């Protein structure tokens, strides 16, 4: 679960930075399906929605690229995280579980898939 949470917060940061979406306007969660597989669910926090998740879906390559750059360039330890990469006041309850290295590994896999699909 820690790797999924780390990936979630990296994607949210990549979306905010790469698409200039306010961090306060988007959020997400890790969803475990009935089949035991996990996935990310992103949503707008603006009442009625602001279309931010649609923008993220339409520019996922930019979001992933920005997230990779943010997480890779941080100088905190790979086994931990900081406010420069994954931590926010909103995810404070998960700070001890967030790992920059885990997020980077997952993001690099996604980045490679996006390049193959593109």
Alpha helices, DSSP H, located in the chain: 2-19, 52-58, 60-73, 100-117
Instruction: Give SS3 for 25.
Output: helix
Total structural domains in the chain?
A: 1
Per-residue pLDDT tens for 9-53? 999 999 999 999 999 999 999 999 899 899 999 999 998 888 999
pLDDT in tens, 70-110: 999 999 999 999 999 999 999 999 999 999 999 999 998 88
Q: Report yes or no on whether pTM surpasses 0.75.
A: yes
Say whether 17 sits in a helix, a strand or coil. helix
Domain ranges, residue 47: 2-117
For 29, half-sphere exposure in the C-beta direction (CA atoms, 13 angstrom radius) is 6
Phi, psi of 25 (to 5 degrees): -90, -10
């Amino acid at each position: 679960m820690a790797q999924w949470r780390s990936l979630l917060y990296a994607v949210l940061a990549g979306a905010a930075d790469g698409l200039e979406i306010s961090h306060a306007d988007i959020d997400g969660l890790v969803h475990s399906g009935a089949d035991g597989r996990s996935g990310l669910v992103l949503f707008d926090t603006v009442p009625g929605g602001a279309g931010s998740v649609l923008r993220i879906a339409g520019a996922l390559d930019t979001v992933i690229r920005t997230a990779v750059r943010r997480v890779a360039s941080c100088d905190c330890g790979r086994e931990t995280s900081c406010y420069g990469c994954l931590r926010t006041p909103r995810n404070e309850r998960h700070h001890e579980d967030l790992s920059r290295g885990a997020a980077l590994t997952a993001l690099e896999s996604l980045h490679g898939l996006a390049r193959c699909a593109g």
